[in-house]
Structure 1
Amino acid sequence: MLVLVVVAAYSDGKFVIFLVAGFIVTAQVAAPSVQEEEVVVLVVIVIVVAVVVVIIVVVVVVVVAVVVVEIVAAAAVVVVVVAATVYSLVVAVVVVVVVVVVVVVVVVVVVVVVVVKVL
């Protein structure tokens, strides 16, 4: 089952959208007794968790951006260039962290379902 997770990051005054495509290996492979409804619930849980993580990250990035802009407004041109570079790096790191968190959540949920069904 292919699930697309939308990861949004606030960068340079625009929302940059990343589509993270990942295959969720359902428990039906290991345990055919799993019902389709349970798989749907599993996918919904994963998507909800991913959306919550994205919202939290976007809020944090926007707050950091506001603070950086306030600091930069009182600084020299050189500091502006350095701050912009650092901010871009921070955004890149945040996006990578979000993607890793989403992948880890998907893997953990699938493993839990498989273990529960096998036991």
Structure 2
Amino acid sequence: MTPVAFGDLWERIEPLLPQRPDAPSGPGRRRVDDRLVLAAVLYVVEHDVPWRQVPAAAVGCSGTTAWRRVQEWAQAGAWQNIRRALLAELPTRDGTAAGSKAFRARGFREPRLGTQEIR
């Protein structure tokens, strides 16, 4: 399987993302960059692991954070288009999208809003 060039993939995905909310002016954690979230999503797909097994130190964000962002994107109506773009861009294996199994198994379907599908 040939790896996807992350920069090229990001260029295709970025326009599909909903507008980021304004950053709060008070104390608190800064919002994780969408690129890091996409890296976590790709990690889950590539390695076919549950969200909780995303290595935050290596990827840049936790699986829980990535899962919550996917939920946010779904609520904004953007996830279905992002998912389609990812499936179209992921390398293929035997004519089937390599990540299609992971997309079905790891909560990558259109999320049911309000559910707790962190596996």
TM-score by length of 1: 0.29
Please identify the structure whose Cα radius of gyration is greater.
1
Structure number with greater CO (CA < 8 Å, separation at least 6) is: 1
| Higher fraction of helix | 1
| Higher fraction of strand | 1
TM-score by length of 2: 0.29
